[in-house]
């Protein structure tokens, strides 16, 4: 008990209000408890408001992140599609290059054979058109058109 309680008790006893003094103490305690409850309620209300505003902020942040994730997933899907298309084009081009290599190899063999046969022909050429000894006969090797 503080000095104010002791002083009010003495004043109450001196004035003959001992019983009323006890009621006053109870009344003061009830009033102070009510003040504490009111201030606690105010503090709790403010905390609830803060929690609510923080929750709103968190919800907005989460929504923003969800949108960002969706956008990134869309980009990833777009990149995957573009990569698959590029791979398909690459395979097609590789096939065409291989096909062209085979054609060039075939042409090179034909050219090599033609050069070889011409060398043989030049070594055995006969400029006499009516020669009976000519082998093979004139016109045996005709080029196809």
Is position 46 within any domain? yes
Task: For residue range 44-97, list pLDDT tens digits in order.
Answer: 888 888 888 898 899 999 999 989 999 999 999 999 999 999 999 999 999 999
Is position 41 within any domain? yes
Helices (H), the chain: 3-14, 18-123
Is position 142 within any domain? no
How far is 20 from 59, CA to CA, in rounded Å? Answer: 57
Instruction: Give CA torsion, residues 82, 84, 90, 96, to 10 deg.
Output: -120
Q: Is the dihedral of CA 27, 31, 37, 38 positive or negative?
A: positive
Is position 102 within any domain? yes
Is position 47 within any domain? yes
Is position 138 within any domain? no
Is position 95 within any domain? yes
- Does 63 or 122 have the greater pLDDT score? 63
Across the chain, what does the average pLDDT equal? 79
- Does 123 or 58 have the greater pLDDT score? 58
How far is 50 from 56, CA to CA, in rounded Å? Answer: 10
Task: For residue range 20-30, list pLDDT tens digits in order.
Answer: 555 555 555 55
Point out the least confidently predicted range of 33-37, 54-58, 98-102: 33-37
Q: Is the dihedral of CA 98, 104, 109, 110 positive or negative?
A: positive
Domains identified in the chain, total number: 1
Among 126, 123, 142, 122, which Cα is nearest to 134's? 126
> Domain containing 69: what range?
3-122
Is position 134 within any domain? no
């Amino acid at each position: 008990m503080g000095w104010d309680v002791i002083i009010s008790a003495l004043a109450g006893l001196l004035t003959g209000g001992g019983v009323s003094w006890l009621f006053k103490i109870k009344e003061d305690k009830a009033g102070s408890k009510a003040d504490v409850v009111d201030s606690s309620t105010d503090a709790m209300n403010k905390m609830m408001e803060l929690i609510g505003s923080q929750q709103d902020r968190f919800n907005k942040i989460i929504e923003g992140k969800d949108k960002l994730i969706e956008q990134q997933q869309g980009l990833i899907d777009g990149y995957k599609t573009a990569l698959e298309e590029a791979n398909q084009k690459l395979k097609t081009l590789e096939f065409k290059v291989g096909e062209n290599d085979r054609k060039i190899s075939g042409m090179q063999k034909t050219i090599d054979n033609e050069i070889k046969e011409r060398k043989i022909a030049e070594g055995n050429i006969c400029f006499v058109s009516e020669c009976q000894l000519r082998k093979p006969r004139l016109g045996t090797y005709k080029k196809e058109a």
